[in-house]
A and B are shown apart, each in its own frame.
With several copies, the nearest count.
Chain A
Amino acid sequence: MATQLESDDQTSEDAFRTEVRQFLATNFPDELRCTGNMLAGLDGPTDENPVQKKWREAVGGRGWGTPTWPKEYGGGGLTKGQTRIIEHEFAKVGAYNPIGGMGVMMFGPTLLEYGDERQKLEHIPPICRGEIRWCQGYSEPNAGSDLANLQTFAVDKGDHYLVNGQKTWTSGGQWADKCFAIVRTDRSDKHKGISFMLIDMDAPGVEVRPITMISGTSPFCETFFTDVKVPKENLVGKEGQGWTIGKRLLQHERTNISGGGRLAGMMGQSLGDIAKKYCETGGDGALVNKVLRDKIADLEIRWNSFLLTARRAVEESKAQGGVSEISSVLKKVGTKLAQDRSELLIEIRGFQGLGWEGDEFGDDELEDVRGWLFGKAATIYGGSTEVQNNIIAKRVLGMLDHQ
């Protein structure tokens, strides 16, 4: 019987694979082959040429950018197996997924879980089509790792809330259309006083100031809310449920930051191959600098077990349902390895790996330098490594609170 089922799956899978190939043949333009930025995960500027737009609309129209999301909300409604087929076929022809950003990575899954029908119908489809960009209104100047300490306040005005306060680290704030934010609706309880609401970035009273990072880039903003009106229908879940919803969303962020395609992408090219371009190799094609070679192997071995761990986390989640405990380990380990890799890359390239600007540096070299600097944030945002350690020690290992 089991085998019977399997063979059915087989046929349907083959059929789907053909469908995907045909789709690519008709819709994926050659000029976009192997383009699409590494940092797709992080919302960048909205410049999009007609060809890119056409590709986004093609994929978005099918809901294949969010393959596992329900069809009724504009998703693909596909199985994990079909999703793998899409990833595989896209990869084969060097096609990228044009549907991304925080809406896909964090907000969408959360709204599907906690939003009401009307909210899902209003907000999910445009995400699936990549039409609306979302940003995250979480952190505040005086609430870093202690997120729940937030002060931005929403006063109940009957049919709407009046929101005042300041958010920071709003990623892509300057390019976003909407913001999912956690704000305080009750000062009497630290956690239960928080609500999750959706704010239009073009609403009167919303002001955005980009923050320049040590990498020279400005992917984040400070966002100021002054008497901003937020209609009641933009409240997700119940009042006071914001902390629960907000934390759930962070779990998606964590999985994305660590296991996610971005990091896997970053690790794409073997450091060994890169090193062979910069450092002497012997007759056997091996690096002459054995110490450097040992460091590279050490990193890549740890990186391999990280990928294996990520896979294991997925299997466990599937088996037990819900996000696996290992996810806190993933964030902690993945971000550390990515940072180690950037440092090692500098060691490999020497001065050539420390360029800030200038034609004498390759784009990859400059991009890696910015990535090295910006990557220092990976162990800080989305729940710092210190916070991850607390979570592991207390929730996973059951070590008591130290306070």
Chain B
Amino acid sequence: MAVLSEEQEMLRNMARDWATKESPVAEFRKVRAAGQPQAYNAYAYAAMAEMGWAGIIIPEAHGGSDFGFLSAGLVVEELGKTLTASPLVATTIAASAILLGGSDEQKAKWLPRLASGETVATLAVEEGTHCDTSAIETSVSGGKLTGKKAFVHEAHGASLFVVAAKDGLYLVEKGDGVSLTTRKLTDQRSHADIQFAGAAAEKLEGGGDSLLGDVLDRARVLSAAEMLGMAQAVFDTTLDYLKQRVQFNQVLATFQALQHRMADLFADLTQMRSAVEAGLQAVDSGFGVARAATIAKAEANRVLHAISNQGIQLHGGIGMTDEFNVGFYLKRARVLEASWGSSSYLKDRFARLSGY
């Protein structure tokens, strides 16, 4: 655990407290059962915004607390532990885009609404099945944006889209020329393909050429934080299970083969935490963001992949049942692993950043 400021300690404890009490995995089950396309509980998100979580990276001038990404990551991690379904990450990513590239007018118009939770926003980049920023076809002419975006997170709840076009990022409000096709993935959360047919678009003029890359790096560290919470939760649940489950007249936790496997996973989890926290801190400091964010997401992918699989294996039969939670983490894990860059995409990026 990184060394935290007092505010951060408080924030994390508040988030942990709320997630465990108000938003345990049972809440996600309700969301799933309700089967609404937006796939989150509006009241829950309102409560989060109420606590200021939607504005953590937003300047006070715009209604946020300006605590920064490490702080946002602490909250996201706690919510990840209980698989809390919400557009918090998506909206925070969108907010970071407006912060980096928006004009004063755009900031003044949108950031307060995002911070208050009034507006849900999300980033739309991918156009195919894999993360590939080089293949963007979406284009804008005369303030009208046209193109197709694929598998957009939280698309149903969002009323504002930050859309990547050939020549930069644009703000598009839900409305005329914006049509969604639901894409239900294993995580049972909100994903959709979005058809933009000449939708009114306003460019984010700031942020320079690296804007998209910078925003994606922020998406990476925030997703990595959610993944960290998920990995921690699976690890903890599994450890508890091994300590109480008896087989061959022995508590499972006493089998050395399982002890050593857990030791490996613990080492992986430790590595993951170091990488993810450093990624969040890098965004706050502004130094070596690209590299740190790449490492953070790559490690998050590697470790959560392993832990989500071992979580099932070590739980044995019951881990295979829908009645048990561990499977939900597996089904969310792969979606996040594929988001904002798969492992091989990130390793390629790391090599490029390292000059080989």
User: Contact check: which of B129, B274, B323, B328 meets A350 at CB < 8 Å?
Assistant: B129
B259 and A380 contact, CB distance less than 8 A: no
* Closest partner residue, chain B, to A284 (CB atom): B352
Counting chain A residues whose Cβ lies within 8 A of the other chain, the interface size class is 35 or more
**A6 cross-chain contacts in B, Cβ below 8 A:** none
Known: A326-B270, A358-B183, A376-B320. A301 touches B295 (CB 8 A): yes
A34 CB, min distance to chain B CBs, angstroms: 22
B280 CB, min distance to chain A CBs, angstroms: 12
A213 and B321 contact, CB distance less than 8 A: yes
B356 at the interface (CB under 8 A from A): yes
**A374 cross-chain contacts in B, Cβ below 8 A:** 320
B272 at the interface (CB under 8 A from A): yes
A392 and B267 contact, CB distance less than 8 A: yes
Of B128, B131, B274, most buried by chain A (CB within 10 Å of CB) is: B274
Our count of residue pairs bridging A and B at CB distance below 8 angstroms stands at 246
**B258 cross-chain contacts in A, Cβ below 8 A:** 386, 399
Give the docked Cα–Cα distance between A289 and B344 (Å).
Answer: 9
Binary contact readout A163-190 vs B (1 if CB under 8 angstroms, 0 otherwise): 0000011000000000000000000000
B262 and A393 contact, CB distance less than 8 A: yes
A305 and B274 contact, CB distance less than 8 A: yes
Give B311-356 interface residues, CB cut-off 8 Å to A: 312-313, 316-317, 319-323, 327-328, 330-331, 334-335, 338, 342, 344, 346-348, 350-352, 354-356
Known: A214-B331, A297-B347, A319-B3. A356 touches B267 (CB 8 A): no
Give the docked Cα–Cα distance between A291 and B351 (Å).
Answer: 12
Known: A304-B275, A305-B299, A350-B128. A212 touches B186 (CB 8 A): no
Binary contact readout B153-190 vs A (1 if CB under 8 angstroms, 0 otherwise): 00000000000000000000000000001111110100
A388 at the interface (CB under 8 A from B): yes
User: Contact check: which of B184, B259, B264, B317 meets A381 at CB < 8 Å?
Assistant: B317
Known: A214-B327, A294-B348, A305-B299. A360 touches B356 (CB 8 A): no
A333 at the interface (CB under 8 A from B): yes
B351 and A293 contact, CB distance less than 8 A: yes
Give the docked Cα–Cα distance between A276 and B251 (Å).
Answer: 48
Of A281, A287, A354, A384, most buried by chain B (CB within 10 Å of CB) is: A354
Binary contact readout A372-391 vs B (1 if CB under 8 angstroms, 0 otherwise): 01101101110011101110
Binary contact readout A294-323 vs B (1 if CB under 8 angstroms, 0 otherwise): 101110111011101101100110010000
User: Contact check: which of B186, B239, B277, B322 meets A354 at CB < 8 Å?
Assistant: B186
A35 at the interface (CB under 8 A from B): no
* Closest partner residue, chain A, to B305 (CB atom): A343
Give the docked Cα–Cα distance between A279 and B350 (Å).
Answer: 18
B274 and A297 contact, CB distance less than 8 A: no
Known: A302-B299, A350-B128. A213 touches B322 (CB 8 A): yes
B183 and A360 contact, CB distance less than 8 A: yes
* Closest partner residue, chain A, to B297 (CB atom): A301
**A272 cross-chain contacts in B, Cβ below 8 A:** 351, 354-356
**A306 cross-chain contacts in B, Cβ below 8 A:** 271, 274
B316 and A144 contact, CB distance less than 8 A: yes
A59 at the interface (CB under 8 A from B): no
Give the docked Cα–Cα distance between A286 and B262 (Å).
Answer: 38
Main secondary structure of the interface of B (DSSP, over half): helix
Of B128, B250, B263, B299, most buried by chain A (CB within 10 Å of CB) is: B263
B193 at the interface (CB under 8 A from A): yes
B184 and A357 contact, CB distance less than 8 A: yes
Give the docked Cα–Cα distance between A343 and B304 (Å).
Answer: 13
A399 and B321 contact, CB distance less than 8 A: no
A49 at the interface (CB under 8 A from B): no
Main secondary structure of the interface of A (DSSP, over half): helix
Give the docked Cα–Cα distance between A390 and B327 (Å).
Answer: 26
B274 and A377 contact, CB distance less than 8 A: no
Known: A297-B354, A351-B183, A356-B188. A212 touches B274 (CB 8 A): no
Known: A169-B317, A286-B351, A393-B259. A358 touches B184 (CB 8 A): yes
B313 and A292 contact, CB distance less than 8 A: no
B247 and A146 contact, CB distance less than 8 A: yes
Known: A332-B267, A397-B266. A346 touches B351 (CB 8 A): no
A136 at the interface (CB under 8 A from B): no
Known: A144-B247, A380-B320, A399-B254. A389 touches B239 (CB 8 A): no
Give B286-314 interface residues, CB cut-off 8 Å to A: 294-295, 298-299, 302, 305, 309, 312-313
* Closest partner residue, chain A, to B324 (CB atom): A214
A402 at the interface (CB under 8 A from B): yes
**B277 cross-chain contacts in A, Cβ below 8 A:** 308, 312
A214 and B322 contact, CB distance less than 8 A: yes
User: Contact check: which of A212, A326, A396 meets B321 at CB < 8 Å?
Assistant: A212
B278 at the interface (CB under 8 A from A): yes
A393 and B295 contact, CB distance less than 8 A: no
Give the docked Cα–Cα distance between A272 and B355 (Å).
Answer: 8
A329 at the interface (CB under 8 A from B): yes
Give the docked Cα–Cα distance between A343 and B313 (Å).
Answer: 15
Give A108-150 interface residues, CB cut-off 8 Å to B: 139, 142, 144-146, 149
Known: A305-B295, A351-B129, A373-B327. A276 touches B356 (CB 8 A): yes
B348 and A297 contact, CB distance less than 8 A: yes
**A389 cross-chain contacts in B, Cβ below 8 A:** 257, 259-260, 263-264
Give B232-254 interface residues, CB cut-off 8 Å to A: 239, 242-243, 245-251, 253-254
Chain A residues at the B interface, C-beta cutoff of 8 Å: 139, 142, 144-146, 149, 168-169, 211-214, 216, 270, 272-273, 275-276, 278-279, 281, 285-287, 289-294, 296-298, 300-302, 304-306, 308-309, 311-312, 315-316, 319, 326, 329, 332-333, 339, 343, 346-347, 349-358, 360, 369, 373-374, 376-377, 379-381, 384-386, 388-390, 392-394, 396-403
Q: What would be 24 A-B contacts, judged by CB atoms less than 8 Å apart?
A: A211-B323, A214-B320, A214-B331, A272-B356, A273-B355, A289-B344, A291-B347, A291-B348, A293-B348, A296-B356, A300-B354, A301-B294, A304-B275, A346-B338, A350-B128, A350-B131, A351-B129, A354-B185, A389-B259, A389-B263, A390-B259, A392-B267, A396-B266, A397-B266
Those 6 A-B pairs whose CB atoms lie nearest each other, nearest first: A272-B356, A214-B327, A393-B259, A350-B129, A308-B274, A297-B347
| 19 extra interface residue pairs, beta carbon distance < 8 Å, beyond A149-B249, A400-B253 | A146-B247, A272-B355, A279-B130, A297-B348, A300-B350, A302-B299, A329-B270, A333-B267, A351-B130, A354-B186, A355-B183, A356-B184, A373-B330, A384-B313, A386-B257, A386-B258, A390-B260, A399-B254, A403-B248
